[in-house]
Amino acid sequence: MTRLAGFVLRRAAGALITLFAISVIVYVVFYVTPGNVAQITCGPRCSPAQVHQVAEQLHLHDPLYERYWHFLQGLVVGQDYSTGTSVEHCPAPCLGLSYQSDQQVTRLILTKLPVSLSLVFGAMVLWLVLGVGTGVLSAWRRGRLTERLLTGITLAGVATPVFVIGLVLMIVVCGELELLPFPQYVAFTDDPEQWAWNLLLPWFSLALIEAAAFARLTRAAMLETLAEDHIRTFRAYGVGERSVIGRHALRGAFAPVIALNANNFGGAVGGAVLTETLFGLPGIGQELVHAVNVVDLPVVVGMVLVIGFFVVIANAVADVLYAVADRRVVLT
Amino acid sequence: MRQPSLTARRVAAASVGLVLAAGAAACGPKDNDAKGAGGDSTPHKGGTLTVLNSNPQQDFDPARLYTSGGGNVPSLVFRTLTTRNRENGAAGAEVVPDLATDTGRPNKDATVWTYTLKKGLKYEDGTAITAADVKYGIERSFAAELSGGAPYLRDWLIGGADYEGPYKDKGGLDSIETPDARTIVFHLDKPEGEFPYLATQTQFTPVPKAKDTGTKYEEHPVSSGPYKVVSNENDGERVVLERNTYWSASTDAERKAYPDRIDVRSGLDSSVINQRLAASQGADAAAVTTDTNLGPAELAKVTGDKELAARVGTGHFGYTNYIAFNPTIKPFDNVKVRQAISYAVDRSSVVNAAGGSALAEPATTFLPDQKSFGHTPYDLFPAGRSGNAAKARQLLEEAGYENGLTITLTHSNSRDFETSPEIATAIQDALKKAGITVELQGLEENDYSDTIHDVKSEPGFFLAHWGADWPSGGPFLAPIFDGRQIVKDGANFNTGLLNDKTVNAEIDAINKLTDLDAAAKRWGALDKKIGEQALTVPLFHPVYKRLYGQDIKNVVISDWTGVLDISQVAVK
Amino acid sequence: MNGSRQGESPSLVEVTGLCVEFGGLRAVDQLSFRLEGGAALALVGESGSGKSTVAAALLGLHRGTGARVGGSVQVAGIDVQRASDDELRRLRGGGAAMVFQDPLSSLDPYYAIGDQIAEVYRVHARGSRRAARARAVEVLDRVGIPDARRRSRSRPHEFSGGMRQRALIAMALACEPDLLIADEPTTALDVTVQAQILDLLHALREETGMGLLLVTHDVGVAAESVDEVLVMRHGRTVEHGPVGAVLGAPAQSYTRELLDAVPRVDAPRAPSAPAGEVVLEATGLRREFGRGKRAFAAVDDVSLTIRRGETLGVVGESGSGKTTLGRMLVGLLQPTAGEIKPGGGVRPEVQMVFQDPVSSLNPRRSVGESIADPLRARGEPDEGRVRGRVRELLERVGLEAAHYDRYPHEFSGGQRQRVGIARALAADPRVIVCDEPVSALDVTTQAQVVALLGELQRELGLALVFVAHDLAVVRQASDRVAVMRRGRIVESGPADEVYDNPQDPYTQQLLAAVPALDPGLAARRRAARREPAMV
Amino acid sequence: MSEALVATQAAGTGPALPAASGARQFWRRLWTQRAALVAAAVVALLVLLALAAPLLTAIEGQDPTTYHPSLVDSARGGVPVGPFGGVSGDHWLGVEPQTGRDLFARLVYGARVSLGVALTATAVQVLIGVVVGVAAALGSQWVDQVLSRLTDIIVALPLMIMALALLAIVPSNFPRPLLVALVIGLVAWGNIAKITRAQTLTLKGLDYVSAARLSGWSTWRIARRELLPGLAAPVITYAALLVPINITVEAALSFLGVGVKPPTPSWGQMLTAADVWYQAAPQYLLLPAGALFVTVLALTVLGDGVRTALDPRAASRLRVGTGRRQEAKATAPVATEGAS
C-alpha cells in the first residue's frame, strides 16, 4: 500500500506541474488571441471611455505576469470582488470571474460539470458495450460476414461527424418516429428517468464515434492473445472455444480497454463539444467554445484546467487499474 | 449588443447580428395572415409557453440589455416609460406609452422631455414604482460594471459622457430630475425628436435602489411587468417566468400576458429548434422561438408542407446588409470605382447565398424598405437582377483601370448569412465578369469586428450590416454617416469616414423635429442623397420566417421587431 | 517401468504414415511409430526436424489451422483424424495431456494457477468448482509445490521458472491422462532445475503408469528419461530403437554426428597455446539496478584478469549476473563500483558476440553493412577498402563474400552468429566477450561455432571471455573457468581443475545436474539426487 | 495518454521486436492480403482524384467556385432545380443548394483539401512525435523528464480549444489549409510521442543497438540508422489511424467555423453545410459523407494490412501454434515504462 501511496504522491506532483504549465500556456495563448476583450465585454457601441473603464475593472491594463499572479493568488487565498453595491468573496480555489457574466468560474464549472459527466458516463457505458461487443464478435468470427458488417458500422461511426449522425438521428428518432423526446437536459437529481431518457440519443451519438476505437483495440488485443502460447495450452486441454474466447482472450483485452477508456473519458469531458452543441447540453465543452469566442480568459483557463485535471486523473486511474488487472506491471 | 455566439454557425445564422442578438421583440406579418395560423379559436389565459432559443438570455439586467424596443423576453418583466405598439405590420412600428401616461412632452426645441407615471404601478413585491426608481435605473446603466446598453443616453443626456454611475458617483445625474414621485424630466444637450423611441429601451425600467445588488441583480431583477423571474440558471441559460400578481392589465394596454408561465430554454442548435417546432410534440406544441430563423434548407421543406407553412410567421426587421467602402484607401477613393462595383454586383446570387428570395430581399437603398424609416425608393446604380458588367467596365475605364483591377474583400468567417464567406464569394464571382479580380480576406469574428471598427485598420472594401435600434432613420443613418460620430480611438461605425457638413446639418435639423412622420420623410431623402456618394452598396434586407408550435394563438408580428411578440401569444 | 501392456489391447499411441504440410512445405513425412501404455518415447531432433509438429498432431491441434495432415493417428483409442470436435476435446487433457516448452507463456498470466488447473479439470470431470479447486491443490502438492493451497492462488509470474513448469505438469496430471506429451519441457530451465523436472516426470510415470512422449533437441535429456528414442531429421525418421542401443551404438551417421556434437562436461579441452600477458583486469566490480528499497546488486565484488590468447569461461545459472558482468567488460554498462584496467596501459579494443542471433543483427540492414559499422565508425573513407575488408571477414568466419548484400533473415542461426563474430572482428579487438554465443543454436552448429572461435583465437591471439549457462560448452571452450552465483564468483581456476575436482558445493551441485548421455549413468545419478532439492 | 495505454497501443500496433523482415518480405506479405490491396487501390484512386481535380473538372467543364443562380429555386431556400439535386450532363453530381456550385468539382477539390490537410497534419504529428519520443528515450534522465512532461501537457490540452485559439492568432493571409494542418499537427502529437518513446526504450535494449554502440557510432547516428527503421512499424500503423481522425478533426473545426476558409471546399466544410439539407437535398449530404466513409474504411483496412505485413508473427499465425525455440525468447514481461 505504501507503494500505491508513493505512486499517488508522484502522480499528484506531476499533475500539479502539468496543470500549472497548462494554465500558463492558456494565459499566453489567449493573451495574444485577437479580440478586444474590453470592447467585447462592454458591447460594440461602447465609447472609448467606457471601454477603458471596463478594461480597468477587468485588470486588462495590468501586465500579463501581474494578471497571472493575481490568478494564482485567487487560487490559493480566494479573491474579493465588487458587484457595485457590495463586496463578495470568491473562496479559494478561486478561478476568477467570468468577464462576460461576472459569475465565479468555480461556480460556473460546478453547474456545467454534472452535464458533461452525465453525458460522458452514459456514453462510456454504451461505447464499451458497443465497442467491446463488436470487437469480441469480430475477433471470434474473423473474416466472416458478421465481422465485416460490424466493422463497417463502427467505421461509419468514425467517418461521420457527430453533427451529422446526431442531427439525422434526431430528425428520424425524435421527429419522424417520435420514439424519444428531443433531448433536453434534465438533472439526474431532479428526475433520473427523464435524465436517462433525454440523454439516450446524445449518449448513442457520442458512443458511436468512440466505439470503433474500442472495437479495433479489443479485436487486436484478442487476436494478439489468441496467438499466445497459453491459449494453445487451454485448447490442448480441450477447453471449449467459448471459454477460450470469453475467459482467456477477452481477459487479455481487458487492460488495454480500460486504459483506452480512461484516456477517452478524460478527453471527452471537455472534448464532446460538438455533441453538447448539437443537443443543446449545457456542458463544459459548449461553454468553453463560447468562452473562447468571446475571449473570456478566466472561464477558458478554468475550464481547460478542469479538463486537464480529468485527463490526468483518468490516466492515473488507468495506470492503477492496469496494474490491478495485470499484476506483473509495476507502478512507477 | 453582445457578440452573438459563434458556437454553431447556424446559431449565428439565426441571431441576426448587431442589434437584435440580445433579444428583440415583435409582432405580426405584413400581409396580416398570422391570425389564420392560430386557428379560429380566441386566445385564453393559462398554460405554459416554451421559448426555444439558440442564445442564452444573458445579462438579464435592464441596465445591461441592448434591445430594440425593450426586447421580447425582457419586455415581459421590464416595463419602460414608452414601448412599441403591439400590432401587426407597420402599425407596430409606432411608439406608445407604457409606464408613462404619454410618449413624452418635449419643450420647444426638443431638449427637455417630461414624463408622468401612471397611477397604481407596482413591483412584484407590491411596492410602488416611483420616478426616482426610473432615474436610478438609468443611472445604473452608466456604471462600468453594468455596461452593455446602447450609447444614446451617454451621448444625449447633459453630463452623460462623464458620469460613472451611482456606485462611484453617489450624487446622481443632474440632467434627470424627479420633481415628484410620478414625474421625471430629462435634459438633453441637443435636440432629439426621437427621444420617445429611446425611452422604449430597458434602461428606462425602474429599479428600486434598495433591491439593487449590482452585477448580481440579473439573477433576480425586480419585475415591473406581467411576469417575474422564478429562476435564472447560468446567466440566462434557462429562465422561468411566472405571473406577477401585482401587475395590472389596467395600467398596461400593450401586454396581453395570456400564459401563466413562460419557460425560456436556450443553448439549442438552431436546426434542432426548427425540427422541434416542426414536430410540435408535447410541450413543443406551445413553443415559439425569439431568435431562430428558418434556414434555407428548412424552408425548402416547409414550403412543401401546408400544415407547416401555416405555422410560419413572416416579418421584417429594419436591417440592411451592404458592402462598405473606406474611401481613404485606393482605389476606393475614386468614386467611379465605387460606382463600378455598385453596378457589377449580382444581387440574385447574393440573395441566394443569404437563403433565397423568401429570406432576403434585394436592397438598393441603405434604409430598410419600411414606412417608419421614411423609405424612399431609389436605385442610383441599377445593376438589374444579376449585375451590369458592361456599365461597370465602362466606369472602370473612365477611372483609368481599363486593364482590370485587383482588390481585396474583407469579410467574417463566421457562417452567418450577413458577412458570410458565401456572400463574399458571390460578389467575387459577379465582379469577375466586370474584370475585377477579388481576393477574399476572411477574418475570425472577433478579428473582423476589431478590424473594421478601428479607423486605423479599417480595410478598403468589406462586408457589413446594420440594424435599427428603433424603426426610424435616425439610429440607422447617424452612426454610419454623421461625421461627428467618427471615433478615432475606439469602435467606429462611420466606416465611410464621411464628414459632410450638409449631411451633418441635415441630421441636426431632423433631430429637432418632434413630428416623427415628418422626420421620417426627411430621413428618406437624406438616405438617397448620401447614396449618391456610393460609400456603400446595399445588398439585401433579411426577411424573418419563424416556425411556432401548433397550439400557439394570437400571433402578432410588427415591423419594429419582425418576429412574433411573446407578450401577445396565447397557448390556450 | 519398462513393461508394455500385452494382449489385444491397442497401443496407447499408434502413428502410421503421418504427413503434415504447411502450405507447400512438408514438415513431417511418412512418420510411423507406436507407444505402449506406460512406456516412454523421445522424439529427438534439431530445430526444423518436425518433432513438435508430430506432438501437436497427436492432439489434433492442426485442425482448423490450414495445415494438411495425412496418415493415421490413434491416441488412447481415438482416431484423431476422424474424431468429432467433442471427442477431440475429451481426448485433449483427458486422454493425453501436453506439457509445453515455455512455462511462463503457456499459462494465462491473468488467472491464479489453481484456477487454471481447476478450469481444465472441470472440462473433463464434471464436478463442483470447489472439488475442482481441491483437485488443483492436490496435483500442485503432488508435483512438489510447497504450501500448495496458498500458492495455488498465485499468478504465473509469481512463480519461478521451475515452479511454473511443475504447475504445468500438475495441470497435465489433473485429469489423470494415459499419455503425457512433454514438448521441450526443460529447455528454458537452468540445469539444476532441469534435473529436478526430469526427476519429477520420471517419478510420476512410475507412480501413475502413464505413457510419456518426450519431444526434445537435447540428447542428454532423452537419455535421462525414456525407454525408446526416435531420431528425426527433415520430418523423417532417422533412427528408432531402445535408448541404450541408439545412443550407445548408433546405426546412422546422422545420429552419430548428433552425439558427437554434444559437448561433454567430462571431456577436457584440447590444449591451447599458452596464455600471454594480461590485457584486461577487473577489480571489485559491482553493479546495482533499481533505486531505494528495490535496489539489488546484479554483480557484487567480482575481480578477474583476462590474458592474451586465453579463454576465460564464466558459467552460472540465470540471474547469476554473468551477462551484466560481460556487458560491463565491454563498456555497455558502467560499474557502480570497482574498475576495469587495461593490462598494458592502453585500453584494448573490446568487442562482444551476442546471445541471440535474431536480435543482435538489425533486420533492416544487410549483414555487410552491419559488419562494416566499426570500420565506418572509425572513419575509414574508402568504400572499396571497407567492402574488401568485410568480404575478407565474411570468408574468414566461413561465409561467402557474396553474402555482403544479404539480410539477416536469409541466414540460419549459426550463420547469423558467424556474422556477429565477423562484426566483432571488424573492430580489430584484442578481447571478445561472447555472451551465450551458442545457447540458441542446435548442437551440431554449436560445435562448429565453438570451433571457429577457438581457431580465431589461435590465429589472432585473442582473449576470449565465454559467458554461458551450459557447463559442457564452457568446458569445451575455456582454459580457465569462473563459476558465478548471485553476482559473485564462487569458484574459479583452470577448467580441468574446477570440473574434475570442484571445491564449492554449488559447483558440485551444478555438475551433478548435467544430464548424462549414458542411460545407465543417468539412472544412477538420479538415484543419487533423490533427496529433493527444492526449486 | 496514460502509460498503460502506450504499452497496449504499442502492443496493438506492432511487434515489440523488430520484424525479421526486409522490404521485400513486407511487400510480399502485403500482396497476399486481398482486402488491403483493394484498400490501397482505393486510397491511390482518391489521391489521384484529388491530384487530377483540375483536369477532371476541366473535362466536366465546371469549376468549384462559380455560382449558378439559375440552377437553384430561390423561392424555396435555394434547392437545386431538377432531379437528384440537379444532376445533368453539365453537372455530374448535381449542384450545391443556394449557390448552384458544381458538386462534383467541389467534391474532388474537397478531396484535395481534406486529404492534404489530413496527410500534412499526420506528417507534422509523426515528425514532432517521433523526434520528441526518440529524444526522450535516448536523452539523459533530465531530458526525458522534461520531454515526457511536455508530452503530458500536450495530451491534457483540449485539441479543439487550442485549435480555435491558435487558428485565430495567425494572420489571415497565411494559407489556411496549411495552417489547419499545422495546428492539428502541433496540438495532437502527444500520443505518437508516447508510443515512440516506449518503442524506442524497447529497441534500445536490443542487442543490435548495443552492437552499434560498440562499433563506436554516435547516439544521433544510432537513432537514425538503427532505431528509426524499427520505429517504422508502430508509427506507420498508428499514422494510418491518424489520417482519418485528422479528416474528421478538420470537419469538426469547420463546424466550429474555424476550418478551411470558404470558398475553398473541403469535405468537412461540405458536411457542415449539408447536414441541415438532409431532408431537402439528401445527395448534398450523402456525397461528402460517402466519400469520407470510403476514405476512412480504405485507410483503416490498409492500416490493418500494413500492420499484418509488418508483423512477422501475423504471418506465422497461419502456421501451427507450437513455438520455435527462438520465438520463446521474444515474450518479454509487460511493464509500464517510465521515468515519471
H or E, element range at B115: strand B112-116
Question: What's the mean pLDDT in C284-299?
Answer: 82
Fill in the amino acid letter for C200. L
Provide CB contacts within 8 A for C460, sequence distance 6+: C425
Nearest to A94 by CA among A113, A85, A81: A81
What lies within 8 Å, CB to CB, of D174 at 6+ separation is none
Residue A152 has pLDDT above 70, yes or no: yes
Average pLDDT, chain C: 85
Question: A7: which DSSP letter?
Answer: H
pLDDT at C3 over 80: no
* Residue of C226, C318, C235, C312 lying closest to C269 (CA atoms): C312
Q: What is the mean pLDDT of chain A?
A: 84
Q: D77 and B297: CB-CB below 8 Å?
A: yes
Tens-place pLDDT, residues A186-205: 888 889 999 999 999 999 98
d(CA B486, CA B499): 8
Q: Which residues of A touch B449 (CB under 8 A)?
A: 35, 39-40, 44
Residue in A with minimal Cα distance to B268: A280
> Does A174 reach chain B within 8 Å, measured CB to CB?
yes
D337 confidence band (pLDDT: 50, 70, 90):
very low
**Taking the domain B2-266+548-568, which CATH number applies?**
3.40.190.10
Q: In this predicted model, what pLDDT tens digit does every residue of C398-409 receive, in sequence order? A: 888 888 888 887
User: In the CATH scheme, what architecture does the domain B319-544 have?
Assistant: Roll (3.10)
Q: B275, A46: Cβ pair inside 8 Å?
A: no
**What's the gap in Å between the CA of A174 and the closest CA on chain B?**
8
Q: Measuring CA to CA, which residue among A243, A233, A237, A246 is closest to residue C125? A: A237
Type of residue at D286: L
- Asked if A251 lies within 8 A of C111 by C-beta distance, the reply is yes
CATH number of C11-261: 3.40.50.300
3-state SS, B407-463, equals EEEEEECCCCCCCCHHHHHHHHHHHHHCCEEEEEEEECHHHHHHHHCCCCCCCCEEE
**Most A-contacting residue of B11, B154, B217, B268 (CB-CB within 10 A), to test interface:** B268
Chain B residue whose CA is closest to D63: B429
CATH 3.40.50.300 placement within chain C:
11-261, 280-349+430-504
pLDDT digit string, tens, across residues A93-147: 899 999 888 889 999 999 999 999 999 999 999 999 988 888 888 877 766 787 7
Please count the residue pairs, one from chain C and one from chain D, whose beta carbons lie less than 8 angstroms apart.
125
Is D329 a residue whose pLDDT tops 70? Answer: no
- What is the Cα–Cα distance from B147 to B110, expressed in whole angstroms? 27
Q: Which of residues 65-104 of A touch B (CB under 8 A)?
A: 82-86, 88, 98, 100-103
Structural domains of chain D in order of their starting residue, each with its CATH number: 34-312 (1.10.3720.10)
Residues of chain B within CATH 3.40.190.10 domain(s) are 2-266+548-568
B/C Cβ contact: 3+ pairs below 8 Å: no
In angstroms, what separates the C-alpha of C91 from chain A's closest C-alpha?
7
In this prediction, the residues of chain B whose per-residue pLDDT falls under 70 are 1-41, 415-419
Q: Which residues of chain B does CATH 3.10.105.10 include?
A: 319-544
pLDDT of res. C477: 86
Reported residue count of chain B is 572
Q: Which chains touch A (3 or more CB pairs under 8 A)?
A: B, C, D
Which residues of chain B neighbour A102 with C-beta distances below 8 Å? 145, 215-216
Cβ within 8 Å, pair A282-B267: yes
CB spacing of D98 vs B356 below 8 angstroms: yes
User: Nearest chain D Cα to B423, which residue?
Assistant: D99
Written as one string, the DSSP assignment of A35-99 is S-HHHHHH-TT--HHHHHHHHHHTTTTS-HHHHHHHHHHHHHH-EEEE-SSSEEEE-SS---B-T
DSSP code, position C534: P
pLDDT in tens, C484-512: 998 899 999 998 889 888 999 999 888 88
Is the predicted pLDDT of residue C379 greater than 90, yes or no? Answer: no
Chain D positions in Cβ-Cβ contact with residue C331 (cut-off 8 Å): 214
Residue C104's pLDDT band, with cuts at 50, 70 and 90, is confident
- Subunits that touch chain C (at least 3 Cβ pairs < 8 angstroms)? A, D
Do B315 and B563 contact (CB within 8 A), yes or no? yes
pLDDT digits (tens, 9 = 90+) for C73-102: 988 888 888 888 888 888 888 888 988 877
Neighbouring subunits of D (3+ Cβ pairs under 8 A): A, B, C
Q: What is the pLDDT of residues B490-516, one digit of tens each?
A: 889 999 999 999 999 999 999 999 999
As for the ipTM of the complex, it is 0.80
pTM, two decimals, is 0.83
Q: What is the pLDDT of residue D87?
A: 85
Between strands C431-435 and C463-468, the pairing is parallel
pLDDT for residue C325: 92
Q: State how far the Cα of B90 lies from the Cα of B316, in Å rounded to an integer.
A: 10
Cα B408 to the center of its chain, rounded Å: 29
Residue the block writes with cell 543490435: D208
Mean of the pLDDT values across residues C355-370? 82
Q: What is the C-alpha separation between C194 and D109, in angstroms, rounded?
A: 69
Topology adopted by domain C280-349+430-504: Rossmann fold (3.40.50)
3-state secondary structure chain D: CCHHHHHHHHHHHCCCCCCCCCHHHHHHHHHCCHHHHHHHHHHHHHHHHHHCHHHHHHHHCCCCCCCCHHHEEHHHCCEECCHHHHCCCCCCCCECCCCCCEHHHHHHHHHHHHHHHHHHHHHHHHHHHHHHHHHHHHCCHHHHHHHHHHHHHHHHCCHHHHHHHHHHHCCCCCCHHHHHHHHHHHHCCHHHHHHHHHHHHHHHCCHHHHHHHHHCCCHHHHHHHHHHHHHHHHHHHHHHHHHHHHHHHHHHHHHCCCCCCCCCCCHHHHHHHHHHHHCCCHHHHHHHHHHHHHHHHHHHHHHHHHHHHHCHHHHHCCCCCCCCHHHHCCCCCCCCCCCC
Q: Minimal Cα–Cα distance from A18 to chain D, Å?
A: 5
Q: How many CB atoms lie within 10 A of CB D331?
A: 16
- CB–CB contact D293 A318 (8 Å): no
Give the distance from residue C398's alpha carbon to the nearest chain D alpha carbon, in angstroms: 21
Nearest to D340 among A14, A262, A307 (CB): A14
Instruction: Inform me whether the C-beta atom of residue C326 falls under 8 Å from chain A C-beta atoms.
Output: no
For residues A302-328, average pLDDT: 81
Distance between CA atoms of D138 and D134, rounded to whole angstroms?
A: 6
CA D2 to chain A, closest CA, distance in angstroms equals 5
Residues C187 and C469 sit within 8 Å (Cβ to Cβ)? no
> Are C332 and D214 inside 8 Å of each other by CB?
yes
Q: Residue C88: its pLDDT value, please?
A: 87
**From the list B9, B304, B441, which residue is nearest D272 (CB)?**
B9
User: pLDDT at residue A3 above 80?
Assistant: no
DSSP label at residue B371:
G
List domains and CATH numbers for chain A.
Answer: 3-105 (no CATH), 112-331 (1.10.3720.10)
| Residue in chain D lying closest to A252 (CA) | D8
Phi and psi at residue C314, to the nearest 5°: -115, 115
Q: Which residues of D touch C377 (CB under 8 A)?
A: 215-217, 221
Return the percentage of chain C with pLDDT > 70, whole number.
95
C482 pLDDT more than 80: yes
Interface check A35 vs B, CB under 8 A: yes
Smallest Cα distance from D185 to chain C, Å: 29
pLDDT at B419: 64
> What's phi and psi for B229, nearest 5 deg?
-80, 120
Higher pLDDT: A265 or B380? It is: B380
Separation in Å, CA of A267 to nearest CA in chain D: 7
Does the pLDDT value for residue C346 go beyond 80? no
The shortest C-alpha distance from D62 to chain B (Å) reads 14
pLDDT at C519 over 90: no
Point out the least confidently predicted range of C118-132, D11-25, D123-137.
D11-25
Which one, of D283, D305, D290, D252, lies nearest residue A156 by Cα? D290
D-side interface with B, Cβ within 8 Å? 65-67, 69, 72-79, 97-100, 167-168, 172-173, 255-258, 261-263, 272-273, 275-281
Q: Identify the pLDDT of residue B546.
A: 93
Contact A236 C61 (CB under 8 A): yes
Strand order from edge to edge, sheet including C278-289: C296-307, C278-289, C337-342
SS3 A198: helix
CB pair distance less than 8 Å for D248 and A304: no
pLDDT at A327: 63
Q: Which of A270, A17, A317, A133 is nearest to D5 (CA)?
A: A317
Q: For residue A27, what is the enclosing H or E element?
A: helix A2-32
- Please work out, in degrees rounded to the nearest 5, the angle formed at the alpha carbon of residue C247 by the alpha carbons of C242 and C249: 95
pLDDT value at residue D110 = 92
Q: Is A236 within 8 Å of C92 when comparing Cβ atoms?
A: yes
Which range has the top average pLDDT, B195-209, C117-131, D149-163? B195-209
Name the pairing type of β-strands A87-90 and B227-233: unpaired
State how far the Cα of B506 lies from the Cα of B530, in Å rounded to an integer: 11
Q: What is the pLDDT of residue C270?
A: 66
A258 vs C contacts (CB less than 8 Å)? none
Q: Do B356 and D76 touch (CB under 8 A)?
A: yes
Say if CB A239 and CB C119 are below 8 A apart: yes
Is any Cβ of chain A less than 8 angstroms from the Cβ of C41? no
Of A32, A220, A311, the CB nearest to D12: A220
Number of CB atoms found within 10 A of residue C173's CB: 24
Model confidence over C417-467: pLDDT tens digits?
899 999 999 988 989 999 988 887 888 888 888 889 988 988 888 899 999
